Structure 1
């Protein structure tokens, strides 16, 4: 048996699979995000451990026999978070999360240093880890002086599970400290932010064994024998492992809290000017590109909160038929935006409202606005040299077929819907645990799921979607003018 633990922003998911990758069981535990100031987003690392304990306790309660046979654990998690530890491995402050934009001024200063784009292959976004440490140095100097180690969120779980300070390449690539082409920490970039190599975890590939589960934790959950903890992956690279998106030309679209258009590459293809992320993949010798929007399903959740109904109820009001976009445009920049704008200050908007517009029409505008933000990512990927032929849908928002129709039509690409079953980051993490524990060939483990359906673009609406996308682009420019 193999266990995947996915540390998300809103919760932890633990997934148990058999040797043949059959899903045996899963359990989840929710978490909340603290927003003490506008643009801030934090979590207490202790909450990650508590949620993981809750999920694993549930698995032991209901599937003790399966859990006792676990031989490998893989980790995936939200990227970029700055978890600052003292010399005793105790957190010095709440973790500053991926969607926290307080360090936008520091990010801009680092990005103006040509070494960062040249070595990391990426713009220095405010959500990345390095500018957060510069913010701490400038605003919380007493804490900065006590930082002994900086870990990414899932790697704090690794420390708790195994006692090891380690990080995989895909997650490390989102810090702005990694030489992404060489897959090594950059002394130049660390020095430019007042950091040292000694404060970084050691680097491993996602398929490597990074340590073994502490005996006391193994005993708690009834696990026998040594349990390998794999290097694991950042959430998007782990999702790619779960969907089998590992060869050049393969891609997926993720509708989670954020939205991602992810394309696998067999070589390093940086193009920071496009605001496309170029990161290491979870497999050795592979990379990937992705366009990232900060609010996808989070935008629908926000609108559902305003409307005071569940997101599913809003979707049910729309039926199954895709309609041409209305005159109302929605810009989903609730937390700023990454690809292609790299704009921490921009905010969301409904534009074009009138007395005859109802809740259902605004819901459609939200779905279309996210689809157009993903279209922005597609255009940026083209600039970065990647053309997509189809995308596989993953993430909680992908359960809405109407939304997938809008995305297929906006992107003018088929959207592949996997058959019922696990395809996400938790499965990818479990697969990495299997590979690390057994030495199995990744090509035979990381297979794509069976296809339930393929959603084609609605040909009769392509022109209307192109016209609406043009308005969407113009509105961003007008807001920035």
Structure 2
């Protein structure tokens, strides 16, 4: 048996997998996000541990003997979070999360230093870890002086589980401190942010063993002591391992809280000017590129919240047959945007509202706006040298058939739906736990699921959506100027 732990923004998921990679069971425990000021987004790491305890307890209640037979653990988690601990291992302040934009000025300053793009292969985005530490140095100087280690969220879980301060390449590539081609910390970049190498965790590959379970934690969770914990992966790379997106040109579109268009690469292909992320993959000597949308299903959840409806109550009246775009256009920049704009200050908007714009029209505009944002990422991937001919859909938004029909038509390519099963980040983490514990070939483990169905673009509506995408593209500079 193998356990995958995925630390998400809104919940922790624990997934149990057997030797045949069949999912035996899973459990989740909810998390909340604190937003004490506009643009801020934080979590208390103690709540992550409580959620792991709760999720594993639920799993153990249903599968006690299987949990007691676990031979390997894998970790996944939301990226970029700055989790700072002191010399005694105590958390200094709440973790500053991936969608926190308070350090946008610091990010711009670091990005103006040409060394960062050259070494990391990426723009220094406000959500990345390094600018958050510069913000701490300027605004919380006493906290900054106490920092013994900076850990990414899933690696703080590892610290609790094993007592080790270790990270791996895929997550570390999102800090703006990693030489992504060499897969090593860069001392010059650390120094430029007032940090030292000894404050960084040691680095391994995601398929390697990164510590073993401490006896007291193993006893508390009902797991065997000494079980190896894999290096694991950042959430998107872990999801790619779960989806089998590990070979050159394979791709998925994740309609989660954020949106990700992820493409696996067999070589390092940076092009930061396109605002595409070029990161290490969880498997050795592999990389990946991805376009990132900060508010994907988050946009639909926002609309659901202000209308007092559940997201499914908004989408179900639309049916499954896609309609041509209406007069309403939505820009999904509720938390700013990464690809292709790298703009932490921009905010979302509806345009083209009229008396005829009812709830269905606004819902359709939200779904279309997010699909157009994915199209932006597709264009940016093309500028970075990656051409895609199809994608596999994943994430909560992929439950909406209407949304997938829109996405296929906007991207102009088939969208594959995997056969029933759980192929997300927790499953990918469990796969990495198996690889690390058993020393097996990652390519033999990280295979793609069968395709249950393929959704083709609606060629009859392609022209209408292309015209609507043009209107969408024209609105960003107008909105940018209006907010200046």
TM-score, with structure 1 as normaliser? 0.99
Question: In structure 2, what is the equivalent of residue 178 of structure 1?
Answer: 178
Given that 2:43 and 2:94 are in contact with CA atoms closer than 8 Å, whether structure 1 keeps it comes out as yes
Given that 2:276 and 2:290 are in contact with CA atoms closer than 8 Å, whether structure 1 keeps it comes out as yes
* CA distance in 2 between partners of 1:142 and 1:202 (Å): 25
Question: In structure 2, what is the equivalent of residue 368 of structure 1?
Answer: 368
* CA distance in 1 between partners of 2:225 and 2:49 (Å): 23
Question: In structure 1, what is the equivalent of residue 148 of structure 2?
Answer: 148
Given that 1:71 and 1:226 are in contact with CA atoms closer than 8 Å, whether structure 2 keeps it comes out as no
Deviates more, 1:41-50 or 1:394-403: 394-403
Question: In structure 1, what is the equivalent of residue 472 of structure 2?
Answer: 472
Question: In structure 1, what is the equivalent of residue 75 of structure 2?
Answer: 75
Find out whether 1:115 has 2:115 as its counterpart.
Answer: yes
Question: In structure 1, what is the equivalent of residue 51 of structure 2?
Answer: 51
* CA distance in 1 between partners of 2:158 and 2:226 (Å): 15
Question: In structure 2, what is the equivalent of residue 276 of structure 1?
Answer: 276
Where do residues 299-378 of structure 1 align in structure 2 (5 Å cutoff)?
299-378=299-378
Deviates more, 1:212-221 or 1:119-128: 212-221
Find out whether 1:259 has 2:259 as its counterpart.
Answer: yes
Where do residues 203-282 of structure 1 align in structure 2 (5 Å cutoff)?
203-224=203-224, 226-282=226-282
Given that 2:12 and 2:52 are in contact with CA atoms closer than 8 Å, whether structure 1 keeps it comes out as yes
1:214 offset after TM fit, Å? 0.9
Given that 2:168 and 2:233 are in contact with CA atoms closer than 8 Å, whether structure 1 keeps it comes out as yes
* CA distance in 1 between partners of 2:339 and 2:117 (Å): 15
1:356 offset after TM fit, Å? 1.2
Secondary structure at the counterpart of residue 469 of structure 2: helix
Secondary structure at the counterpart of residue 423 of structure 1: coil
Secondary structure at the counterpart of residue 317 of structure 1: helix
* CA distance in 2 between partners of 1:262 and 1:439 (Å): 26
Count matched residues.
481
1:215 offset after TM fit, Å? 1.0
Runs of 4+ in 1 over 3 A off after TM superposition: none
1:138 offset after TM fit, Å? 0.5
1:392 offset after TM fit, Å? 0.6
* CA distance in 2 between partners of 1:216 and 1:86 (Å): 22
Secondary structure at the counterpart of residue 99 of structure 2: coil
Secondary structure at the counterpart of residue 406 of structure 1: helix
- Give the gaps of 5 or more residues in structure 1: none
1:225 offset after TM fit, Å? 5.4
Where do residues 14-93 of structure 1 align in structure 2 (5 Å cutoff)?
14-93=14-93
* CA distance in 2 between partners of 1:385 and 1:79 (Å): 24
- Give the gaps of 5 or more residues in structure 2: none
Q: CA RMSD in A?
A: 0.6
Given that 2:178 and 2:186 are in contact with CA atoms closer than 8 Å, whether structure 1 keeps it comes out as yes
Secondary structure at the counterpart of residue 335 of structure 2: coil
1:451 offset after TM fit, Å? 1.0
Question: In structure 2, what is the equivalent of residue 383 of structure 1?
Answer: 383
Given that 1:68 and 1:221 are in contact with CA atoms closer than 8 Å, whether structure 2 keeps it comes out as no
* CA distance in 1 between partners of 2:171 and 2:19 (Å): 26
Secondary structure at the counterpart of residue 88 of structure 1: coil
* CA distance in 2 between partners of 1:356 and 1:104 (Å): 39
* CA distance in 2 between partners of 1:195 and 1:318 (Å): 52
* CA distance in 1 between partners of 2:299 and 2:167 (Å): 31
* CA distance in 1 between partners of 2:261 and 2:224 (Å): 40
Question: In structure 1, what is the equivalent of residue 298 of structure 2?
Answer: 298
* CA distance in 2 between partners of 1:8 and 1:222 (Å): 23
1:327 offset after TM fit, Å? 0.9
Deviations 1:322-360 (A, max 9, x none): 011111000000000000000000000111101111101
Where do residues 366-445 of structure 1 align in structure 2 (5 Å cutoff)?
366-445=366-445
Given that 2:275 and 2:380 are in contact with CA atoms closer than 8 Å, whether structure 1 keeps it comes out as yes
* CA distance in 2 between partners of 1:338 and 1:145 (Å): 31
Where do residues 181-192 of structure 1 align in structure 2 (5 Å cutoff)?
181-192=181-192
1:415 offset after TM fit, Å? 0.5
